[in-house]
Amino acid sequence: MTPLLDIRDLSMTFRIGRGLLPGRRSVVQALQGVDLDIRRGETLGLVGESGCGKTTLGRCVLRGYRPDRGVINYANADGTVTDLARLSRRELKPYRTQVRTVFQDPNSSLNPRLTVRQIVAEPLVAARLVKPDEIGDRVAEMLRRVGLRPEYMRRYPHAFSGGQRQRIGIARALITEPRLVVADEAVSALDVSVRSQILNLLEDLQEQFDLTYLFISHDLSVIQHLCDRVAVMYVGKVVEQASTDELYARPRHPYTESLLRALPRPDPRLRRAAQRVPLRGELPDPANPPAGCAFHPRCPYASDRCDTEVPELASVENGDDSNRQARCHYATTLVLTGV
């Protein structure tokens, strides 16, 4: 089956530092040849430490950034495929309603000067999808879908709690009936007691609207609960991808193992029994990444080969998941521990 989104060789660079002269500015490779596909109706989780490039990838999918190289093939409803990476701003306009986003912070993503009705209806008005006299009914119905009362549409964002504001943000994202939703840390700014409610809401809405999610998060507990497949990023590259069950049960990349072993365990007996894998040092500077495997300075299994030879993202057979991949020279020989 053709994936809804097929990303190939996606690269994105940024210039940082002071001065107008090129020699005085550093080049950061935020994305380096990323290959990824998102299947219709699934939730793909994207995880990694801060600075690994996952948010940049999400913004490239949304075309907030125009990538330097690569393709973002989007499968249209009529069966044709469009490369979103090459479209101009004018050509992108029809896709703005089909690929939507849920922002991280509901406090700063909602305009305090607009009512809920204006906020949720804004995409409809911008795209001219409905007649003006139909907007109120559409907004009211969408508010019901996300668990808010229609009469709330006359209020302003300050009158709502953080969880309610995020529901408003979700309503705004879904009002155009999109096919793909990019959720970048959509629950990280919420209280723990509210997170499960929003996650359950996202699952219910996915079933109702036949949605596909790209869910970006640093919280592996959330990813395990919500996602069908997981892609792990490190210094601008995907280092492992697999089904959620396979990846959590038996990781194939040492970085994935370290992330999983850092998960909190509620049972004290399990905490004592767990053998933590040391994750040394800090995330490398993307403007000056190490030679060879980017993870080798922190990897407890690194060899001389890892210092000089860059590993490819290669297929790894494991259980029922024939599509899992890992970027490690020893992915087929290391016995790594999951959760």
Containing domain of residue 280, as a range?
Answer: 251-326
- Percentage of the chain with pLDDT > 90? 73
C-alpha–C-alpha distance, residues 85 and 134, integer Å = 34
Under the banding of pLDDT at 50, 70 and 90, the label for residue 119 is very high
> Is position 273 within any domain?
yes
> Is position 79 within any domain?
no
Under the banding of pLDDT at 50, 70 and 90, the label for residue 339 is confident
- Within its chain, how far is the Cα of 294 from the centroid? 21
pLDDT, tens digit, for every residue of 49-100? 888 999 999 999 999 999 999 999 999 999 999 999 999 999 999 999 999 9
- φ/ψ (deg, to 5) at 229: -135, 160
pLDDT, tens digit, for every residue of 278-308? 577 788 888 888 999 999 999 999 999 999 9
Instruction: Say if residue 267's pLDDT is above 80.
Output: no
> Is position 265 within any domain?
yes
> Is position 294 within any domain?
yes
Under the banding of pLDDT at 50, 70 and 90, the label for residue 2 is confident
> Is position 91 within any domain?
no
> Is position 239 within any domain?
no
Q: Domain total for the chain?
A: 1
> Is position 272 within any domain?
yes
pTM: 0.91
CB 153 within 8 Å of CB 116: yes
Give 38's contacts (C-beta < 8 A, 6+ positions apart). 3, 4, 5, 6, 44, 180, 212, 214
CB 316 within 8 Å of CB 332: yes
pLDDT, tens digit, for every residue of 188-220? 888 888 999 999 999 999 999 999 999 999 889
> Is position 260 within any domain?
yes
